Structure 1
């Protein structure tokens, strides 16, 4: 094993951490934590439960980010002491542990560095993800369900909160669509690179002749907005339908009309929610998602107008972004960053970090500008 140049390695790690802390602005982050702590200590905070939950959630997220940065600085100091002791005492085992810790710190810094590449207006927000089956019949519906499992497993690995808001089951198998919410710092900025068309190639388990099938699913990612950022919606522009929630095969899972479908008449945007316990909760959840979609639509229209004025009307929304090939070989490849993995099963089981990090780096280098 080649000897590790600890002074050089440690110098590079410290330099990387300084660069990250400059971008994140640790002093400002510390001030934010202090302000939120004061707000959380207000005895009248819980008079408004929604606001109290928002404050405590923000405090938890900011504290975790600050602790993450502080801990990395401590780990760099500790590994330097570990390496010095190992050399003084000639302890190869401790030296090997120090080398392993160097690698672990390097990975942690790379993950933290990704956060500094997310500077979009809504990147810090929670995310709402919708998956829709596309072309491919029952295989596409099955693929949509596979993607739902992939994203929920990925979020669970990160210990991020996942809440399924709505599921529309296909007749034979799989899902027509599913909408879920992920609450975590930079959830939208992280997952926004997953938006687009995903393609699956495999031997169809639903084809009795065992033929290869190509199917598609669309992934939409929108930010979950704070009340102060939401767009105004005229009640006269809404068509509201209530119905009973249903599970796989169309079987009723609710004996009351608690599910809600909102149709925004001017745009034709439809949002359904059925996984909350009451009609009021489902309507509130549907309104949050509708507000976010309308804001996203507004931003897209503004961006399209700017591109048209610049003489560039090429649209990238909905373009195919990734292929999952299970036959005749196994490979998952992102068509933007060119990141690829030979173990498709692992990716579909939630091992997505490599693709997401590569996508964020690709975007930060101007890859989404055309």
Structure 2
């Protein structure tokens, strides 16, 4: 059956229009104009921190504007390509149009998902922490597998990352690891990955070759910004310093440069050892601690609102995704029901479809809760 380009292009235009309406291009253009005026001020760099905020926000707003208007131009180009191929009955041109149609549908779908990221902190960069759970050495190995999966995903997207802390397990894998994804909307995108992940496989650490189930927890928090009002009294913080170490306890630093910071009122603990000096590790630890307390504060506010509104049945399950390597191959998200059979691709960072399904599911849950 011949591809119905007309209906496909019409559907694309409808989606792009809805994205355009939600994106509010007029507002983006006003913001661009205001930020460009600030960025051109001769005294801008007298305050480097403020200058960095202005230029970063200008880049982000311009990128969002160009993303939408650029998509409209691509649809126009596709329509022209189809018309040329049909008028000349050129199969090669029509095949090229079909390929571009597939790419464009994927890009428009991603753009549509981006419009769903409208939460309070969704525009933020993200701090991701992975911790080994039940399952012994297999759980530690699974935590390292997840760490690699997310770093490979970020690499595929061209997103810069920075590993802040790694705590190695004795035999293999990681007890925990923390890293930043340093791009706008990283938090809104990755927030749906938070939760308990489960791995089922034949354990490579079991000499009897038995099947093992292990768990790892993923935490995602928005990166703190200088404009956030999270003040932490010094009396509420306990700071311990220790010597950084690598796999198997091997010393990688001859000074006590690593920092463990504990927020006494909540018991929140943050460790940093990947920077070169104690001062740098202390600053990084404080930034991540503030980010976690910011999210904790929001969770408490949300809980209070839910209590006032009554019981809302829209909660995340304790276990959100299963990775099964034996007796069959499957990765399945237990919230969205999305699943694939290619476990190796997923563990190599091909998780876009899971993230997209998670964002759509989460927004659907929020809409249902708001209607109750």
Fold shared per TM-score above 0.5: yes
Aligned positions of 1:262-301 closer than 5 A: 262-301=261-300
Structure-1 residue corresponding to 2:321 = 322
Structure-1 residue corresponding to 2:55 = 56
1:210 is paired with a residue whose SS is coil
- Count the aligned residue pairs: 369
CA distance in 2, matches of 1:120, 1:288: 21
Ranges in structure 2 where 5+ consecutive residues have no aligned partner: none
- 1:313, CA displacement in angstroms? 8.6
- 1:315, CA displacement in angstroms? 9.3
Alpha-carbon displacement from aligned partner over 1:21-67 (angstroms, at most 9, x marks no partner): 11011121222233333333344433444433333333333322222
The worse-fitting range, judged by mean Cα deviation, of 275-284 and 341-350 is 275-284
Alpha-carbon displacement from aligned partner over 1:86-137 (angstroms, at most 9, x marks no partner): 1222211101111221221111100000011112100111110000000001
The worse-fitting range, judged by mean Cα deviation, of 113-122 and 10-19 is 10-19
Ranges in structure 1 where 5+ consecutive residues have no aligned partner: none
CA distance in 1, matches of 2:240, 2:367: 38
Q: 1:34 to 1:220 in 2, by over 3 A?
A: same
Alpha-carbon displacement from aligned partner over 1:262-293 (angstroms, at most 9, x marks no partner): 11111111111111222222111111111111
Structure-1 residue corresponding to 2:160 = 161
1:254 is paired with a residue whose SS is coil
Aligned positions of 1:73-84 closer than 5 A: 73-84=72-83
CA distance in 2, matches of 1:283, 1:367: 37
Structure-2 residue corresponding to 1:212 = 211
Structure-2 residue corresponding to 1:338 = 337
Q: 1:317 to 1:258 in 2, by over 3 A?
A: farther
Q: 1:147 to 1:95 in 2, by over 3 A?
A: same
Q: 1:302 to 1:58 in 2, by over 3 A?
A: same
CA contact (8 A) 2:314 2:365 kept: no
- 1:228, CA displacement in angstroms? 1.3
Aligned positions of 1:305-316 closer than 5 A: 305-310=304-309, 312=311, 316=315
2:7 is the counterpart of 1:8:
yes
- 1:364, CA displacement in angstroms? 1.1
The worse-fitting range, judged by mean Cα deviation, of 37-46 and 318-327 is 37-46
Q: 1:295 to 1:61 in 2, by over 3 A?
A: same
1:128 is paired with a residue whose SS is strand
Structure-2 residue corresponding to 1:350 = 349
CA distance in 1, matches of 2:195, 2:23: 29
CA contact (8 A) 1:230 1:291 kept: no
Structure-1 residue corresponding to 2:118 = 119
1:205 is paired with a residue whose SS is coil
- 1:306, CA displacement in angstroms? 3.5
Q: 1:163 to 1:5 in 2, by over 3 A?
A: same
Structure-1 residue corresponding to 2:69 = 70
CA contact (8 A) 1:218 1:318 kept: no
Q: 1:363 to 1:318 in 2, by over 3 A?
A: closer
Q: 1:237 to 1:130 in 2, by over 3 A?
A: same
CA contact (8 A) 2:314 2:366 kept: no
Coordinate RMSD, CA, aligned: 2.0
Structure-2 residue corresponding to 1:187 = 186
1:363 is paired with a residue whose SS is helix
Alpha-carbon displacement from aligned partner over 1:118-176 (angstroms, at most 9, x marks no partner): 12100111110000000001110000000000000001101011111111111111100
Structure-2 residue corresponding to 1:146 = 145
CA distance in 2, matches of 1:102, 1:315: 36
Structure-2 residue corresponding to 1:24 = 23
- 1:4, CA displacement in angstroms? 2.7
CA contact (8 A) 2:224 2:291 kept: yes
CA distance in 2, matches of 1:181, 1:199: 23
CA distance in 2, matches of 1:358, 1:218: 20
